[in-house]
Amino acid sequence: MTPSRREVLLGASAASLALSSGVGFAQGAWVPTRDVEFVIPFAVGGGSDLLARVIGKIIVEEKLIPTPLVLNNRPGGGGAVGIGYVAASRRADPHTIILVNGTTQITPILNPAARTLTEVQPIANVMLDDFLLFVKSDSKYKTIQEFVADVRSKPDKTFNFSTGGTTDVMAITIFSRAIGKEINAVNFNSGGESLTALLGGHVDGSIGNPLEFMGHIGPDGPIRPLAVFRDDRFKAFPNVPTMKESGINAPNFQMWRGLAQPKGVDAASQAYWQGIMRKVNASATMKKYIADNVATEAPLYGKDFEKFLTDQERLYRDLLGKPA
């Protein structure tokens, strides 16, 4: 585990974590007057949970709000369980904030019965993550070309990949289409669970974001990246080729990660939380976290964030072949 991961875990339990903040909070027309609940609709240890704990750490240590902040993990259903909880019991509550990401947008595209991102009010984006395809370090596959050749030589769904959410499923779908063979997605509640399945030898490989696996990548690490879904190589992984330079025409896409409130909150509380997130995004702690995990800073707020999400919805639907 890298130092950045240790910092953000903050001694988390599998249920919830209460954090207390002090004075010196942001001023505005509305401020919290009781505990703020930070709902994380994903399991402890995954990329969304790690980011939420960085945000919580900054809010608490920099005393950005005048009341305690309570972190509440409610995983399941690609974000549907946690957001369903918010929609049912926290609607219009300005003392509730929610961690959202590409999974909460892709889940209802793949399963129209699941209402996730449409049940919340987007507030701010924080970052963008690219995707890596990787295997165990003791795998017989040393290159992406070797892996693809073996997959193509066998029947569809012979190979199993672990996933930590529907965005990972989308990455597997895109990769499968690019190589003309179906890979079976084995779904888990978080990147942490997905990694455990890979390290335990229960799957053949995985696709995920670097921030969930940074502590396990390296010359002596237990996993080996084979290729990246982006136009150029990561500076942190100069020996790992891109899909396209490896002859695999897999489209690039990224995982966005941000913050939302329940539907129905008023404009004053939205402005307040946008202001808090501007301070979070500008903090040295957040900038270091993003740099350490080879992600991309992408601060967006309010209407700009909503427009970005509209564009992402169109991109995701195009890539999945599921028009609106």
User: CATH number for the domain including 264?
Assistant: 3.40.190.150
**Do 45 and 97 sit in the same domain of this protein?**
yes
- Asked if pLDDT for residue 14 goes beyond 70, the answer is no
Please tell me the predicted confidence (pLDDT) of residue 53.
97
Share of the chain above pLDDT 90, in %: 66
**Do 296 and 271 sit in the same domain of this protein?**
yes
Q: Which residues contact 159 (CB under 8 A, 6 or more apart)?
A: 151, 183, 184, 204, 205
- Asked if pLDDT for residue 11 goes beyond 90, the answer is no
pLDDT, mean of residues 150-161:
96
DSSP 236-270: T-TTSPBTGGGT--PPP--EEEEEEEETT--HHHH
**Do 107 and 8 sit in the same domain of this protein?**
yes
**Do 297 and 181 sit in the same domain of this protein?**
no
Residue of higher predicted confidence among 211 and 10: 211
**Do 173 and 67 sit in the same domain of this protein?**
no
- pLDDT, tens digit, 9 for 90 and up, residues 15-42: 334 444 443 444 458 999 999 999 999 9
- Asked if pLDDT for residue 5 goes beyond 50, the answer is no
**Do 74 and 219 sit in the same domain of this protein?**
no
Write down the residue that tokens 């942190």 correspond to.
Answer: 236
Please tell me the predicted confidence (pLDDT) of residue 296.
92
**Do 305 and 197 sit in the same domain of this protein?**
no
Kindly report whether the global pTM for this prediction surpasses the value 0.85. Answer: no
The closest of 289, 278, 273 to 211, measured between CA atoms, is 289
Write down the H helix ranges in 98-248.
Answer: 102-110, 144-152, 166-179, 191-199
**Do 212 and 227 sit in the same domain of this protein?**
yes
Mean of all residue pLDDT scores within the chain: 88
Residue of higher predicted confidence among 111 and 189: 111
| Confidence label for 323 from pLDDT (cuts 50, 70 and 90) | confident
Among 221, 246, 271, the domain boundary falls at 246
- Asked if pLDDT for residue 8 goes beyond 70, the answer is no
Q: Which residues contact 208 (CB under 8 A, 6 or more apart)?
A: 47, 131, 132, 134, 163, 164, 168, 171, 191, 194, 195
User: CATH number for the domain including 167?
Assistant: 3.40.190.10
Please tell me the predicted confidence (pLDDT) of residue 78.
84
The closest of 151, 129, 270, 280 to 204, measured between CA atoms, is 151
Share of the chain above pLDDT 70, in %: 91
- pLDDT, tens digit, 9 for 90 and up, residues 122-141: 999 999 999 999 999 999 99
| Confidence label for 155 from pLDDT (cuts 50, 70 and 90) | very high
**Do 58 and 137 sit in the same domain of this protein?**
no
Among 246, 269, 287, the domain boundary falls at 246
**Do 271 and 295 sit in the same domain of this protein?**
yes
| Confidence label for 191 from pLDDT (cuts 50, 70 and 90) | confident
User: Would you state the structure tokens that stand for residue 137, as one six-digit string?
Assistant: 């370090």
**Do 116 and 161 sit in the same domain of this protein?**
no
First to last CA, the chain: 41
Domain that holds residue 220: 132-246
- pLDDT, tens digit, 9 for 90 and up, residues 283-297: 999 999 999 988 999
Please tell me the predicted confidence (pLDDT) of residue 169.
86
**Do 120 and 146 sit in the same domain of this protein?**
no
Among 246, 268, 288, the domain boundary falls at 246
Counted domains in the chain: 2
pLDDT, mean of residues 100-126:
92
